[in-house]
Amino acid sequence: MSNRLREALHTAATDVPAYPVYERALATARRSRRRGALAAGAALVLVALAGLVLPSGRTPDVDQAASADAALPDRIALPPIGTLHATDRPRLGPASVLFSGQAPRLQGWDEDGVVGIVSADSDHYRIMPVGYEAPAGEKVLLSPDGRYVARPAGSQDEPRIDIVDLVAGRTRRLPSMVADSVSTIPLAWSPDGGHLVVRDDKPVAFTGATYTSVLSIVTLGGDRWTQFADGAQEAHFGSAVAFARDGTRLAYQYGRTVAVADLDGREISSFGLPTESWLGGKGAWTEDGALTLVTRQGGSTTWSLRRIDPRTGRDADPLRLPGVTGVTAIRLLGWAQDGSAVVVAYQPEPLSRDRFDQPLEMDKRTAYPNVRSVRVLALSPGAAAPRTVMTAPEQVLAVDVADDVISDGRIRDARPPGGVGGRFWFWTLLLTVLVTGVAAYRGREGLSRWIDDRRFRRAEGDRPRPDRAGPLPPGRHARRPDQHRHSG
């Protein structure tokens, strides 16, 4: 081989880039580590997000059922879009108010009923999808201390009541013990929260065209189910139920009759109701053991409270409380420490076909189509007019308030949350992670080549070039910038 040919081959070899074996191996190792880190990071993100919204089976070490700062908010608002559910983390703790209605954010995606929940000592909101129209205070009930929510659940074949623990985030199921029952509805909590009065409806005819009601007292653990009232055909028991302050007696209404029974189901007394009067509600018992009725003054929409003897039904000492005017009905929630009666007042729907200044059953007066909104009022002794203690937006049509909040009588300035809730951010982040992951997986080959090319070009940029590598081989001369090549 001549020297000239040798020099030409050597020059050509120096111009050919060498395959970066080491760099390529490093790039492959880095790519594998990146994929593993991304997968682990995505898994951790999903676990962390799931931990925020999924219920836990562990009960907190500290019982948060009693809140020293519990108070009634002076107003409530609709829950934000994406509000966390009742059993999501972080736990809500005891609640002060339940509310329901037909506002858009209380209907759910498929127009099923949603119940809103407000914390006892803050403006934190939660929601509870029920699956059908279930008015707060009538079918969905808040326990006296605000810790539990009782709601109907199950199916016609297996009806039950769910007890949702707002502190622990767990749900306890109480299946109906009444034969042939097709629905089970909670009606009232005992003052200590240890018992529930429930109503079961069961068909009388095989076709199910008519039903009868059965009332029972159930322990919270479900280990005792005491039936104490079984109506005749089409009898509707428990349109209103109230426990006495000491928890040893309860009063319930069926038709135009009120009965008083003990916890074993034995009837103590019963009496008929005066015209245009109904058992007041869950707060019907006074501290001295009398019963309270809500009464409409004939030919008007003015309502007042009436005190009666629970043994005979006769009028007792009158109550010096103001009346409520311009509403479809009122329902007595309880009594504050200063002697004020706390009631929920139902504002009439202007487009309703019913006349509220004429005789009308209570369940019609509080039905959703007949109500525009609700307010919570305090009727103070000797006052000239009711005092509004809580307002609600239109189409919030039913509320329930914890007994402890009512008796304490504290009211706080509320600042309901705005914007969007935690579940909105959870699903947004989850969708972003999934879309990014799918896009990265589908374009993984092109992404890997792009990353490797960048690393290769960076490595080549750091490699010395031939014109900067030192003196030329023998026989090679540097060409001046102004020197041109000529053929010949």
Better pLDDT: 233 or 150: 150
pLDDT at residue 123 tops 90: yes
d(C-alpha 405, C-alpha 247), whole Å: 18
Q: Which two tokens stand for residue 192?
A: 């200590």
Cα pseudo-dihedral 324, 73, 191, 407, rounded to 10: -70
Look at residue 283 and tell me if it is in a domain.
yes
Look at residue 468 and tell me if it is in a domain.
no
CA 391 to centroid of chain Cα atoms: 20
Look at residue 254 and tell me if it is in a domain.
no
- Strand 396-401 to 387-391 pairing: unpaired
Look at residue 86 and tell me if it is in a domain.
no
Q: Is 281 exposed, middle or buried (0-12, 13-18, 19+ CB in 10 A)?
A: buried
d(C-alpha 479, C-alpha 31), whole Å: 44
Question: Is 376 in a helix, a strand, or coil?
Answer: strand
d(C-alpha 130, C-alpha 135), whole Å: 10
CA 249 to centroid of chain Cα atoms: 32
3-state helix, strand, coil in the chain (%, to 5): 20, 35, 45
Q: What tens digit of pLDDT does each residue of 383-416 get?
A: 999 999 999 999 999 999 999 999 999 999 999 9
In the block, tokens 């009439």 appear at 348
CA 62 to centroid of chain Cα atoms: 22
Most confident segment among 22-31, 41-50, 371-380: 371-380
Q: Give the number of domains in the chain.
A: 1
Q: How far is CA 74 from CA 71, 324, 366, in A?
A: 9, 19, 22
Range of the domain at 386: 274-409
pLDDT at residue 368 tops 70: yes
Which of 365, 375, 426, 418 has its CA nearest to residue 396? 375
Look at residue 390 and tell me if it is in a domain.
yes
Better pLDDT: 141 or 62: 141
Q: What tens digit of pLDDT does each residue of 190-241 get?
A: 999 999 999 999 888 766 678 888 999 999 887 889 988 876 555 566 689 9
- Position 11 scores a pLDDT of 72
Look at residue 42 and tell me if it is in a domain.
no
d(C-alpha 336, C-alpha 330), whole Å: 17
Look at residue 250 and tell me if it is in a domain.
no
Which of 121, 115, 54, 55 has its CA nearest to residue 93? 121
Which of 458, 431, 322 has its CA nearest to residue 380? 322
d(C-alpha 414, C-alpha 434), whole Å: 38
Q: Which two tokens stand for residue 264?
A: 């074993």
Q: Which two tokens stand for residue 382?
A: 């000797």
Q: Using an 8 Å Cβ cutoff, are 375 and 393 in contact?
A: no
Both ends of the chain: CA-CA distance in Å?
Answer: 25
Q: What tens digit of pLDDT does each residue of 435-470 get?
A: 777 776 777 677 677 777 777 677 766 665 555 445
Cα pseudo-dihedral 431, 436, 441, 447, rounded to 10: 180
Question: Is 218 in a helix, a strand, or coil?
Answer: strand
Q: What tens digit of pLDDT does each residue of 30-72 get?
A: 666 666 555 555 555 554 444 444 443 333 333 444 467 899 9
Q: Using an 8 Å Cβ cutoff, are 70 and 402 in contact?
A: yes
Look at residue 131 and tell me if it is in a domain.
no
d(C-alpha 246, C-alpha 248), whole Å: 6
